Amino acid sequence: MFNFIRFRESSVIVRIYTEQYGLKNYLVNSVRSTKPRFPVSFFQPLTLLDMLVYNKPHADINRVAEIKCINPYHSIPFDVLKSTVCLFLTEILYKILSEEESNKDLFEFLINSFDFYDKKETHFLNFHLQFLIKLTGFLGIAPHNADEMINEIKSSGSTSLISKGEKDLMDRLIRLPYQEYVELSNLRRRKLLGLTVHYYQHHFDYISEIKSYRILREVFD
């Protein structure tokens, strides 16, 4: 679940990345009424939903028959830092995942990643960095190391300067699983995130502006 917009008096149009159909838009009725059929909380960013839908392959908007919320998050909605991180990642995912086709490996990666993040009580400050790095593997742009990222950014005329020590830390983040925590200061985390965002912008010029990026940086300061 990425986002929703209001439609008429009581309905919403939701944009959801589905396991079977890829990225789709759905019209959901009776959400914003005095006795809603489905609560608005179902449509918060990254909520995991089980849906019965009427799917027409070439329709811009399809309809939903039934919705259930499965594995509701226990920490993400109530932790300001975690919810801000998820807002930032949702914006990037929304801009990047535009194809209407099934990708079960990517779908499972998204589900497992955010489930891990929600359950993690400590040592989760690098999650957004590791998530974006791991996501590149599903987008066909996975870097082998920090030098490769820097060289590609330079090839487009941009610069992203980091020290030798920061390169070594990025190489560890590229290599290690979520479970392996890399100790970073806020300054180094911010610089490595800047490198990662520049790397994405190099490959996807339509994500030049990330509105939640500034908010994320403020939260980590």
Range of the domain at 207: 76-220
Domain of 55, CATH number, reads 2.40.50.140
Tally of domains in the chain: 2
Q: 115 and 167: one domain? A: yes
Residues of the chain below pLDDT 70: 1-4, 6, 32-33, 99-100
| pTM for the model | 0.89
Q: Which residues of 73-107 are buried (b: 16+ CB within 10 A; e: fewer)?
A: beebbebeebbbbbbbbbbbbbbbbeeeeebeebb
DSSP assigned state of 125: T
CA–CA gap between residue 6 and residue 164 (Å, rounded):
49
- pLDDT in the model for residue 2: 67
SS3 content of the chain, % helix, strand, coil (to 5): 50, 15, 35
Clarify whether residues 188 and 96 are in a common domain: yes
* Residue 88 CA: distances (Å) to CA of 19, 20, 27, 59: 22, 25, 25, 29
pLDDT at 100: 64
Name the β-bridge partners of 19: none
Strand partners, 13: 5, 27
One domain, residues 64 and 118: no
- 45 closest CA partner among 114, 102, 116, 113: 114
CA–CA dist 49, 66 (Å, integer): 10
What is the spatial distance between Cα 18 and Cα 100, in angstroms, rounded to a whole number?
Answer: 9
In terms of domains, do 131 and 27 share one?
Answer: no
pLDDT given for residue 81 in this prediction: 93
pLDDT for position 63 = 85
What pLDDT was estimated at residue 107?
92
